[in-house]
């Protein structure tokens, strides 16, 4: 099953996701994020806007490949893949 | 007398409590998160902060236990189908006379929840929120759900009903520089004034559009910018495209409204039907962002003047507050207790508030000052706060 790894900054808002493996069903990035949201309600409001698009300063990759479809998040996360959720870093 | 002050700051929400005659700040809430506006609902005591997460999108946060704990309120969203006509930031070769090209549309998403206002005592759950990109949202249930006010969103001055199809009129609202941080150039609603005599009578102000009024609870809206001057535009008296920095009204005399913008201080004593310029540049009263109005006498207002326009700092290194008691015919400058050398503070649009005879303001330099004699003398509540975005009495 795919796993999800994310920036630790999100644990502040969703402590339920901290220190645990997050495994989900294989599927599109959008479907994977919805599964994380089921564990941590409100999660998708942090990484997606109300149109379902990735927020401007959030980046995703499937293993080492950046997710390029930021609007519909249709890229598939394979069975043995990992979805990484990053934030762009900015200054003080 | 108010015993609470809420600051929205770049690093969280700061709450001051007044006890035994002294104002003391609590440990910061929403630590490290920019808070662009924080306010207290006088009807039920709920505290609200508008979080401006750089990465995770704008969020409302609510405390129903006086600030001991806070919860996310994630319900404020544009509905499916909400679109706007994209404004492009003018470039040096921009030609205002060139024929308009075909409009480009974008699906609306909330970039910033810039302002919150509360309904009347007879409408206990009603809240208002103004956003970038130019949405007025209304909640009837204390923030559990929000609805976009469509008549204002679909106004003919913005291209008409874009839910239904392409634009049927020209979009005459401009973008606010405050939106550029979000990678767009769109308008924002920063002022919402509910008439205490009639909750269906509301003024809102948008940067950069102007003042808009409804008298039927938001079913129809009319621009109220007559008398405004926009002296950097091709037509200074154009109906739209004004940039009120903040609009405030007298609670006891709601037909007295005030605003300050790039081109002066403006006052209306007829419910915004007519504005007149009342600034005195020779006295330093001209450019600035915040304005506060006395709750009883609408001729009384305060501003924190700044050096216009591209500098945006205290005038000649000295910070002062100016007050008028006669509808702007004359202004008095008060400096006692405020720094008069090496001061470079700017006070943003929500950064000044009044409650009775008490005023408070906070600057982007992190200085917070309080007056308990109607602005005539000031005490410093601290010099090392984060940049202050909003100040509101609780």
Average pLDDT rounded to a whole number, residues B242-253: 96
Extract the runs of DSSP E, i.e. beta strands, from chain A. 3-6, 27-28, 58-62, 65-66, 76-77, 82-87
Mutation target among A8, A13, A43, A49 for the B interface, most CBs of B within 10 A: A49
**Residue A91 sits at the chain B interface (C-beta within 8 Å):** no
- Chain B, window 179-198: residues with a beta carbon less than 8 angstroms from a chain A beta carbon: 182-183
Is the pLDDT assigned to residue B96 strictly greater than 70?
Answer: no
Average pLDDT rounded to a whole number, residues B351-366: 98
- For residue A36, the enclosing domain spans 3-87
**Residue A47 sits at the chain B interface (C-beta within 8 Å):** yes
Q: pLDDT grade, residue B389 (50/70/90)?
A: very high
3-state SS class at A9? helix
Residue A42 CB coordination number (10 Å)? 12
- How distant is the alpha carbon of residue B168 from its chain centre? 30
How many whole angstroms separate alpha carbon B94 and alpha carbon A87? Answer: 35
Average pLDDT rounded to a whole number, residues B16-35: 96
Name the residue among A50, A55, A90 with its Cβ closest to that of B78: A50
pLDDT tens for B130-176 read 999 999 999 999 999 999 999 999 999 999 999 999 999 999 999 99
Is the pLDDT assigned to residue B361 strictly greater than 60?
Answer: yes
Q: pLDDT grade, residue B309 (50/70/90)?
A: confident
**Residue A50 sits at the chain B interface (C-beta within 8 Å):** yes
Within chain B, how many helices (H) and strands (E) appear?
1, 30
Asked whether residue A92 is domain-assigned, the answer is no
Rg over CA atoms, chain A: 12
Q: Is B310 exposed, middle or buried (CB count within 10 Å of its CB: 0-12, 13-18, 19+)? A: exposed
Asked whether residue A44 is domain-assigned, the answer is yes
Q: Per the CB < 8 Å rule, is B110 touching A42?
A: no
Asked whether residue A29 is domain-assigned, the answer is yes
Q: How many CA atoms lie within 13 A of B222 on its CB side?
A: 9
**Residue A88 sits at the chain B interface (C-beta within 8 Å):** yes
Chain B residue numbers touching A33 (CB-CB < 8 A)? none
Asked whether residue A53 is domain-assigned, the answer is yes
Measured in angstroms, the CA of B43 and the nearest CA of chain A are apart by 28
3-state SS class at B115? strand
Q: Select from A3, A52, A66 the least CA-distant residue to A32.
A: A3
Q: Is A20 exposed, middle or buried (CB count within 10 Å of its CB: 0-12, 13-18, 19+)? A: exposed
Q: Per the CB < 8 Å rule, is A47 touching B56?
A: yes
Q: What is the mean pLDDT of chain B?
A: 94
Q: pLDDT grade, residue B370 (50/70/90)?
A: very high
Asked whether residue A69 is domain-assigned, the answer is yes
**Residue B122 sits at the chain A interface (C-beta within 8 Å):** no
Chain B residue numbers touching A70 (CB-CB < 8 A)? none
Name the residue among A13, A51, A87 with its Cβ closest to that of B109: A51
Name the residue among B72, B77, B182 with its Cβ closest to that of A42: B72
pLDDT of residue B183: 85
pLDDT of residue B102: 86
A78: CATH: 3.10.20.30
**Residue A14 sits at the chain B interface (C-beta within 8 Å):** no
**Residue B54 sits at the chain A interface (C-beta within 8 Å):** yes
Average pLDDT rounded to a whole number, residues B213-233: 93
**Residue A49 sits at the chain B interface (C-beta within 8 Å):** yes
Q: Per the CB < 8 Å rule, is B55 touching A50?
A: no
pLDDT tens for B312-358 read 889 888 999 999 999 999 999 999 999 999 999 999 999 999 999 99
Q: Which residues of chain A carry a pLDDT beneath 70?
A: 89-92
CB pairs under 8 A between A and B: 38
Report residue B51: phi and psi, to 5°: -90, 135
Chain A residue numbers touching B33 (CB-CB < 8 A)? none
Q: Per the CB < 8 Å rule, is B110 touching A50?
A: yes
pLDDT of residue A89: 65
Q: How many domains does chain A have?
A: 1
3-state SS class at A44? helix
Name the residue among B56, B109, B183 with its Cβ closest to that of A50: B109
**Residue A58 sits at the chain B interface (C-beta within 8 Å):** yes
This prediction has a pTM of 0.94
pLDDT of residue B87: 86
pLDDT of residue B99: 73
- State the complex-level ipTM: 0.91
pLDDT tens for B56-85 read 999 999 999 999 999 999 999 999 999 999
Mutation target among A50, A52, A58 for the B interface, most CBs of B within 10 A: A50
| DSSP secondary structure code for residue A49 in this structure | -
pLDDT of residue A4: 98
pLDDT tens for A8-28 read 999 999 999 999 999 999 899
Task: Nearest chain B residue to A59 by CA: give it.
Answer: B55
**For residues B315 and B233, which has the higher predicted lDDT (pLDDT)?**
B315
Residue B94 CB coordination number (10 Å)? 9
Asked whether residue A49 is domain-assigned, the answer is yes
């Amino acid at each position: 099953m795919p796993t999800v790894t994310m920036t630790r900054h999100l644990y502040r808002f969703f402590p339920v996701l901290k220190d645990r493996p997050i495994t989900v069903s294989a599927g599109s990035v959008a479907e994977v994020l919805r599964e994380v949201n089921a564990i941590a309600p409100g999660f998708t409001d942090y990484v997606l806007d109300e149109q379902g698009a990735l927020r401007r300063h959030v980046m995703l990759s499937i293993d080492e490949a950046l997710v390029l479809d930021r609007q519909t998040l249709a890229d598939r996360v394979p069975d043995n893949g990992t979805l990484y959720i990053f934030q762009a870093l900015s200054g003080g | 007398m108010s015993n609470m002050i809420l600051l929205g700051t770049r690093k969280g929400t700061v709450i001051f409590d007044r006890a035994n005659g002294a104002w003391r700040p609590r440990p910061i809430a929403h630590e490290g998160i920019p808070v662009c506006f924080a306010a207290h609902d006088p009807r039920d005591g709920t505290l609200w902060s508008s979080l401006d997460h750089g990465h995770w999108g704008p969020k409302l946060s609510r405390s129903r236990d006086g600030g001991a704990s806070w919860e996310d309120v994630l319900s404020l969203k544009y509905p499916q189908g909400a679109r706007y006509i994209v404004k492009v930031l003018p470039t040096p070769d921009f030609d205002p006379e060139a024929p308009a090209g075909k409009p480009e549309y974008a699906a609306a998403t909330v970039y910033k929840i810039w302002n919150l206002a509360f309904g009347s005592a007879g409408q206990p759950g009603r809240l208002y929120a103004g956003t970038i990109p130019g949405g007025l949202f209304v909640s009837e249930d204390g923030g559990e759900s929000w609805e976009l006010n469509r008549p204002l969103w679909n106004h003919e001055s913005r291209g008409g009903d874009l839910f239904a199809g392409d634009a049927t009129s020209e979009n005459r609202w401009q973008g606010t520089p405050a939106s550029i941080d979000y990678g767009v150039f769109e308008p924002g609603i920063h002022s919402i004034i509910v008439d205490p005599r009639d909750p269906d009578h509301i003024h809102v102000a948008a940067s950069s559009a102007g003042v808009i009024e409804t008298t039927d609870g938001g079913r129809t809206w009319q621009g109220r910018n007559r008398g405004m001057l926009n002296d950097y535009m091709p037509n200074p008296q154009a109906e739209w495209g004004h940039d009120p920095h903040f609009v405030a009204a007298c609670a006891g005399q709601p037909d007295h409204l005030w605003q300050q913008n790039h081109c002066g201080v403006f006052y209306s004593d007829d419910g915004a039907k007519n504005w007149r310029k009342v600034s005195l540049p020779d006295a330093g009263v001209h450019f600035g962002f915040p304005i506060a109005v006395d709750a009883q006498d609408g001729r009384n207002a305060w501003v924190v003047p700044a050096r216009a326009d591209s500098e945006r700092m205290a005038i000649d290194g000295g910070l002062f507050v100016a007050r008028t008691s006669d509808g702007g015919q004359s202004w008095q400058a008060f400096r006692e207790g405020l720094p008069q050398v090496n001061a470079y503070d700017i006070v943003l649009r929500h950064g000044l508030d009044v409650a009775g005879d008490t005023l408070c303001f906070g600057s982007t330099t992190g200085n917070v000052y309080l007056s308990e004699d109607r602005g005539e003398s000031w005490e410093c509540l601290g010099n090392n706060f984060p940049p202050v975005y909003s100040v509101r009495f609780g």
